[in-house]
Structure 1
C-alpha cells in the first residue's frame, strides 16, 4: 500500500468495492469522489460478491477493499480470509447494514467497520486508518465468520485458486500440509486438520487421526487388509474415488454411529 508521509500529498489508493447491491456500490464510488481531496483514491473495480472480487484481484493491483459482509456466493469475511493469503494483501474495510457485527468486529480488532448508510466523514477516517494498518489476521476473521467457508483457497503460481468445499471428498494431513482431494485432483492446504474439523463439523467426519472424510461422499464401508500387521480393518469407500481410506480402531465406534452402519 502506498502513502507519502509528512506534509507531502497522499498517494491515491486503488480501491475495490464489493457489494451485491448495485446502488450500494455506486454510493461508495460517489462518496470516494466526495472525499478525494482529503483521501485520494481511484476505483480499481467493483464486484457483486467475493468470487468476482478474487477474479478481479488477479488482474488488478488493489490497496484497499471495501466489502459488504452479507453477500451470496461468498460473503465479505470469507473474501477477507482468502485475500489474506495473497503476497501483498490489500487492507480490508467491512461495510454492512447489520449492526450485530459491529461490536464483534471491533472487539476482535478488525481493520475497520462502516455501518450503512456510509457517511463521507467516517469513510475518510477509515481510509486514513487503512493507510497505516495491516489486514486483519486469519484467526480473527475465523472467529468473526457468520458461516463456514464455501471455498478453500490454494496459492498456485502466484494466484489464488478457489476449490468449492462441496467438491472435496476427504482431507488428509501430510507433513506440514493438508491434502484436499476432489474427484479430479489433490490440492495442498496450508491449514490445520483440527481447525478444519472444528469449522466443518457437519460436513466432515474424522476417521483417523490424520484424515477427515466428506459425509456426503461415503458410498459404504468394507473390511480390508491394511497396514503392516496383516489384519483386516474397516475402510471407507467413497463415491467417485477408487482409493479406500482406513478407519482407525479408536475412531470406528464414532464412525459406525455417524454413518449408521
Structure 2
C-alpha cells in the first residue's frame, strides 16, 4: 500500500461516512440517495450496475417504495465512490475540501477490532515508551497516522487542531518526525488529547522538550523503531477488520 493510495482511501472513507450518515438520518432516505447520486452525476443505470441490482430496484428505493437497510446504503455509497474513482475522484476531492477533510496529511485512519492497551500498542509498533509515568488503563479504540511534514506545510493551525481534536481515545502516529518537538507542541495546545502518541522517524534521539510536553499532558509517548511507514501502517492495520 503506497502513501498515495492510503491518502485516497482515508478521504474516500471519510466522505463515505458523511454520505451514509446523511442518508440514514434523513426523513426521506430515498430522496437523499437520489440527491447524492445526482451530485456524483451517476445515472440510475450506472449505480444499479455497480451495485449488482436492477435499475427498477434502485428506483423503488429512491421513490420511497422500499426502505434501505444499512447494507443497501453501504453498497450504494461504495458504488458512487467507485464510479467517481474511475473518473478521477473529482467529486470526492471537492467534498473533502468542503468538509475540511485533510486529504494529504492523513496517511491512514482505522478502528481496531477491539480496544488495544498501551502495552499491546507498544508491541505492535516495536515501540519504546519514552517516559514511565502514565495513567493506568490507557486504551485506544483506533488510530490515525499523520504525515507531520505535510500537516505542518499544508494544514492551517485550525485544521491541525481540529484533526487532533477529532481523535480522542485513539492513538495518533506522527511520521517523518526528526526530533518530535513540532507535533508535541501542537498536541499541547489542543483541547482534546489522544490516548497515545507514537513518533516514527527519529533514529538518534527524541527532543527532551517533546517528552516533557507529553509528561505534562499525561499522554503516553512512544517511539516506533519500525524501519518504514508502510510496515508501521501494515502492523496497525493487522489489528483492524480492514486487513
Same structural fold, with TM-score higher than 0.5 when normalized by the shorter chain: no
Larger RCO (CA within 8 A; separation ≥ 6): 2
More helix, by proportion: 2
- Scaled by the length of structure 2, what TM-score is found? 0.30
